[in-house]
Structure 1
Amino acid sequence: MKKLILGTAALALSAGMAMADTVRMGTEGAYAPWNFVNDAGEIDGFERELGDELCKRAGLTCEWVKNDWDSIIPNLVSGNYDTIIAGMSITDERDEVIDFTQPYTPPDPSAYVALSADVDLAGGVVTAQANTIQAAFVAEQGWTLVEFATPEETVAAVRNGEADAVLADQSFLDTVVGDGLVMLERKEQIGGGVGMGLRESDGELRGKFDTAIQSMKDDGTLNTMIAKWEVSSQW
């Protein structure tokens, strides 16, 4: 019986170690071309390709977890997954709660899409996805802000007249312009680039991803991937 108990304990320890070797990559799956769910029901996009390559270079086994944006940081902190790789801009406010790797893309310009090119942003209603740098920017301007949980809802709000314009990453808005929606000439440069978010206690894991990101910058692979998906300017 004693040997059986010891054997069970050893198996439990072994299973725990195996689980620890699998890194769970949390993403939104709703922000093309950064991350989205394809027709096969799988996570796809720039960050899926990037994340898989980073895990390969870091010698890690990774699996993907889809999570809504509004709870993506709390669920990282609570342990539902081990990283956030979801087009998340590095900000001082977020850095107080979680840690970030070095950025894997430079800051992406934020743009406006509306039904008319002469929309009055200051006098109208501007929508943005909740808990984003764009929502914070609109609020700081003192403009009327309407927030929604998903990017699709912000675009729908412009189409149905609930908002006059939507502010989001230009790379995302590039995928929705047309069919009556136009992009305004005005752009905003906000945020400090996009990086992977990790728990503050996971310094070793952050170091592995930092090294992998740097290696992709050094050999040009990252710029090639950025150009393929057209998510931002290159390094």
Structure 2
Amino acid sequence: MSGTPTVVKDVMTHRVVALRTGAAFKDIVKAMRQWRVSALPVLDGTGVVVGIVSEADMLRKEEYGDGYIGRYREAGHLAEVRKADAATADELMTAPAVTVAPDATLAHAARVMARTKVKRLPVVGRDGTLEGIVSRSDLLKVFLRDDGDIEEEVRREVVVRLFGTHTEAIRAEVRDGVVTLSGRVHETALIPLAARLARAVAGVVDVRCALSGPPRHPGPDVPDTGSFRTV
């Protein structure tokens, strides 16, 4: 993987299958089957994303198609019943669509997916037009990053930036995406910040922080004998 993926446009899929608002029910089913996707963005005549049609939306026709629609109407399932009667994308879609900007961080995209319980997000520009789509699996690509690349960035952006150029006593090692920081630092107050910044580096799975402050020197009233006894 070239470069360091840090924002959505680094990992998103650029080739996207989308629907027009007037797309017919059967054509939507065929498109999902052909492209092996469970949801498709819906565009208006200008290419702006106006909604999403998912398999869940499509299945309303089966769920409420058993001849008892009247009962469901009375039970307050009007939105679901309307989708059961739908025949085109604009009638089926969930709107407005939950989207993300191409320059959004991967962490932000992951939080949006978790909060809205969706598996993929249309990526839209400032004018609302479709630029790509990002899925859960796309967000995981960052964890394929090489350990050596991660280690180099942790040393450059965390160790050197926080503790200066004379950092020979501080070690940053990465194995399977897990960062281990060890050694002595002069300012112990910076240790929690170092761990937090290392965790924010793209591709980091976990951080094990073994940094410690400078060695303590014995006070004038305590002899530095290694051990002592009282009499």
TM-score, length-scaled by structure 1: 0.24
Q: Which structure's relative contact order is higher, taking Cα pairs within 8 Å and 6+ residues apart?
A: 1
The higher radius of gyration belongs to 2
